[in-house]
Structure 1
Amino acid sequence: MATPTHTTAEVDPTQAPAVVVGQDVEEDQPQDMDSLFGDRAGSSTTSLTQSIMEYRELHGRTYHNLGDTYYWGPNDEKQNEQLDIGHHMLTMLLDNKLFLAPISSNPQNVLDVGTGTGIWAIDFADAFPSSQVTGTDLSPIQPSFIPPNLKFEIDDAQMDWTFAPDSFDYVHMRCLMGSIRDWQRLYGQVYNCTKPGGYIESMEMDIQFLSDDGTVKEGDVMYDWSTLFIESGEQIGQTFKIPRIAKSLIEAAGFVDVVETKYKLPVGPWMEDPKWKDLGRWNLLYLDEGLEGMVMFVLLKIMGWSYEEMAVYVGNMRKALRSSKNHGYYEIVVVYGRKPEFKVV
């Protein structure tokens, strides 16, 4: 995303309460549920600041409130528990590593885009005390007790970045599918703010449930669940298909030596190999824990379903996920690339 800039909310005490990561916030619960996300003018810091604390409620779940920025997942405690389960699962997937990119052993400046609960950034900061880690997210849901070399900032990564060009050794992002309108612009902003020789790494879930033995196929609830998500993303211009095109977009942004690694992550303990059987158990827990939160906004606010229809569908999906007859999986795609040391002419 021109020299990119990055917008970080700076609190104006005359405009909004102070944002302190880890501090309890008062949730706004409007009666008008037809407008889940309020209006926000342009990309001004003031409007971003005013909307930070104004969470919106949908059937007891709270959501980010950033105007024209749609994020389909809740930001409440239940959903955050799912995110932490997902972190454990994805770390296991990478053989107990936090990343795949061949970064240096003493990185200095690291950015975690869409940090969520901040758990990846905390683990990275602990593992690399030489680094200064910044985690950014739409909501202040991160803990206050963190390593001294870590800070969290409230930020919409889709706005213009104000980080200095060539400032990060490593930029990490994970599970942003369905939440970004212009991935090419985002990767371009990462490129401009990455040091020559530094790395980007993007890990995304391909949400299409599949099977190799025909137990999950078109017409089955697990397969069609994914189709609903993908259709909703196309409707609002925030694709869930990013795992399939991330490599080409990262290359188009200017990164070189781009490597793509794909994993088939099973749902449930149906595989024989101990590692994958264990991962399947964790994945089933991850999906079961977050099922309602994952689909509520998609079905009610984008696809126009009633709450009752959604509840029945969630029940059918949960039954399918737990069935030992279904040998389903979805792909995790990790892409990393290096910014050239010299400008490519």
Structure 2
Amino acid sequence: MDNRAPEVPWPNTGSPPEPDTESAAHAIGAAPPAETPAPIITSAEVDGDNDSAYGDTFDASDTTSITSAITRYRYENGRRYHAYRDGAYWAPNDEVQNDQQDLAHHLWLLTLDNKLCLAPIENPQNILDVGTGTGIWAIDIADAYPSASVTGTDLSPTQPEWLPPNCSFEVDDVTLPWTYRPASFDFIHIREMFGSIADWDELFSQAYHTLQPGGYIECAEHSVTPVSDDGTVGPEHVFTRYGNVMNELGRKKSKEFDIWSQIRERVEKAGFVDVVETRSKWPMNGWAADSKFKDIGWWNQLRISQGIEGFALRSLTTVGGWSYIEVQAFLGQIRAALKDRNVHGYLDVTVVYGRKPEAAKRNP
């Protein structure tokens, strides 16, 4: 039986008012911001890691040194990036980027009709949020299920200090071997890890191993290549050029960006059953006539207008070899295109969930 959920009906076009995103744009051709020395922040209590990325610069038993190393962030072109496993992730971890993650969380809530997940979880006791970012989803799910223990993992300790009592965060790289006990979670949530994972099959295999029988995995991803159904996003449009260059740079690092269309297949390959995929679309601005998609489009336009520098800057300058000025000129074209409601572009979105069979052997 095919459990693929039908795609969301696509609305007709319309012309709603345009949100004000001008204040977020950088001047094209401006000189890069002056880089400031990276601060040493030692307020967060972060467990150590003896991965070789640290070298021999400190004793792994010295928690204070470990904490300082993790939070001695790297600064490039005025943006702040994680220190632990430096280069493993393409986006900044500064406040500007964190705001975009929270905007994305709002987009997902709009898309899922204010649901935090689609998997039919009932009374979960142990939840893992992989790549938690600002921790906003983990905090919300902890509030929704106060009897559950929620753990969020990320490369940076940028989550808030005031948390629900059943929510905690760990600094970890999910591409390394997982250290959780087998069958220790009953729900694992993965969202927006595109461009960060070299081996998705291994990621889902480790999640399968860590879930208890009957537990659920859910993975939510979206495309980085805007498309259209009416040909208004053509092969030479800046949206298409952006998607092509980002995917090319991702492939150079063996970390694909447009992974969204492969998620269902890979979840099934890992051994999960009753796999369900639900697809939707995020308009690039408020061009859609349908009120839900119009609202999503407005928020998506705001998110991209303010966040596009963080999405692209590091990949274009480090992997692509672009200059800072070349990047800003390109991003200026994208921001201008976002204002054109005659172009009916959108991003493909998918949410896939599956269940670990109850008959799966429980490891000791």
TM-score (norm 1): 0.86
Which aligned segments of 4 or more residues in structure 1 are displaced greater than 3 angstroms?
A: 16-19, 38-42, 44-51, 66-69
Provide the C-alpha distance between the structure 1 equivalents of 2:186 and 2:59, rounded to a whole number of angstroms.
26
Structure 1 letter corresponding to 2:289: E
Instruction: State the partner residue of 2:205.
Output: 188
1:223, distance to aligned residue in structure 2 (A): 0.9
Q: How does 1:37-116 map to 2 (within 5 A)?
A: 39-40=53-54, 46=60, 51-67=69-85, 69-104=87-122, 106-116=123-133
Instruction: State the partner residue of 1:35.
Output: none
1:40, distance to aligned residue in structure 2 (A): 4.3
1:66, distance to aligned residue in structure 2 (A): 3.4
Residue 342 (str. 1) matches residue 356 (str. 2): no
1:302, distance to aligned residue in structure 2 (A): 0.8
Q: How does 1:156-235 map to 2 (within 5 A)?
A: 156-235=173-252
1:241, distance to aligned residue in structure 2 (A): 2.6
Provide the C-alpha distance between the structure 1 equivalents of 2:232 and 2:352, rounded to a whole number of angstroms.
29
Instruction: Name which of structure 1's ranges 256-265 and 48-57 shifts more when overlaid on structure 2.
Output: 48-57
Instruction: Name which of structure 1's ranges 243-252 and 115-124 shifts more when overlaid on structure 2.
Output: 243-252
Does the C-alpha gap of structure 1 residues 317 and 113 become closer, same or farther in structure 2, counting only changes over 3 Å? same
Q: How does 1:126-137 map to 2 (within 5 A)?
A: 126-137=143-154
Whether the aligned pair in 2 keeps the contact of 1:222 and 1:317 (CA below 8 Å) is: yes
Secondary structure at the residue paired with 1:209?
Answer: coil
Provide the C-alpha distance between the structure 2 equivalents of 1:315 and 1:153, rounded to a whole number of angstroms.
37
Work out which of the residue numbers 285, 292, 299 in structure 1 matches 2:302.
285
1:51, distance to aligned residue in structure 2 (A): 4.0
Structure 1 letter corresponding to 2:279: K
1:92, distance to aligned residue in structure 2 (A): 0.8
Does the C-alpha gap of structure 1 residues 156 and 40 become closer, same or farther in structure 2, counting only changes over 3 Å? same
Q: How does 1:8-27 map to 2 (within 5 A)?
A: 20=44
Provide the C-alpha distance between the structure 2 equivalents of 1:264 and 1:303, rounded to a whole number of angstroms.
28
Provide the C-alpha distance between the structure 2 equivalents of 1:55 and 1:108, rounded to a whole number of angstroms.
34
Structure 1 letter corresponding to 2:44: V
1:65, distance to aligned residue in structure 2 (A): 2.3
Provide the C-alpha distance between the structure 2 equivalents of 1:49 and 1:334, rounded to a whole number of angstroms.
35
Provide the C-alpha distance between the structure 2 equivalents of 1:138 and 1:187, rounded to a whole number of angstroms.
19
RMSD (Å), alpha carbons: 2.2
How many aligned positions are there? 312
Instruction: State the partner residue of 1:325.
Output: 342
The percentage of counterpart residues that share the same residue type is 48
Structure 2 regions of 5+ residues with no counterpart? 1-39, 47-51
1:120, distance to aligned residue in structure 2 (A): 0.4
Structure 1 regions of 5+ residues with no counterpart? 1-15, 23-37
Secondary structure at the residue paired with 1:112?
Answer: strand
Does the C-alpha gap of structure 1 residues 39 and 154 become closer, same or farther in structure 2, counting only changes over 3 Å? closer
Cα-to-partner distance string for 1:82-110 (whole Å, 9 max, x where unaligned): 11111011111100000001111x11000
Does the C-alpha gap of structure 1 residues 256 and 131 become closer, same or farther in structure 2, counting only changes over 3 Å? same
Does the C-alpha gap of structure 1 residues 48 and 199 become closer, same or farther in structure 2, counting only changes over 3 Å? farther
Residue 142 (str. 1) matches residue 159 (str. 2): yes
Whether the aligned pair in 2 keeps the contact of 1:112 and 1:133 (CA below 8 Å) is: yes
Whether the aligned pair in 2 keeps the contact of 1:21 and 1:142 (CA below 8 Å) is: no
